[in-house]
Amino acid sequence: AQKITQTQPGMFVQEKEAVTLDCTYDTSDPSYGLFWYKQPSSGEMIFLIYQGSYDQQNATEGRYSLNFQKARKSANLVISASQLGDSAMYFCAMRGGNAGNMLTFGGGTRLMVKP
């Protein structure tokens, strides 16, 4: 069974500072993918970044980067230079090779950016 844990229900960050959102996972699959989604107050789910279990380098997409520590089973999202528009819920999700196409989500972290 797959499990995703996001231990920070809510976080504040000052505008223009960097912030790290934690995500740990548990799976017996040797092959898996990790995803981060953003859900603003308008409700849509926006894909941010992907990391594969066999990727040698940490994924980056603009201001988003993923701090992937495979031995610790963690895939933390780092947002650099926070903007007011980054205020949203952030979900970590995993898809394992043996779980078919099932995408398992964590409980989410609400990020609030202070001006």
Q: Would you tell me which residues interact with other proteins (CB under 8 A)?
A: 31-33, 35, 37, 42-47, 50, 52-53, 91, 95-97, 100-103, 105-108
- State how far the Cα of 41 lies from the Cα of 113, in Å rounded to an integer: 13
Question: Between residues 2 and 82, which has the closer beta carbon with respect to other proteins?
Answer: 2
In the complex, what is the shortest distance from the CB of residue 40 to other proteins, in angstroms, rounded to a whole number?
11
Question: Between residues 35 and 82, which has the closer beta carbon with respect to other proteins?
Answer: 35
Question: Between residues 77 and 106, which has the closer beta carbon with respect to other proteins?
Answer: 106
User: Where on the phi/psi map is residue 112: left (φ > 0), alpha (ψ -120 to 50), or beta?
Assistant: beta
From residue 29, give the alpha-carbon distance in Å to each of 6, 58, 65: 20, 20, 23
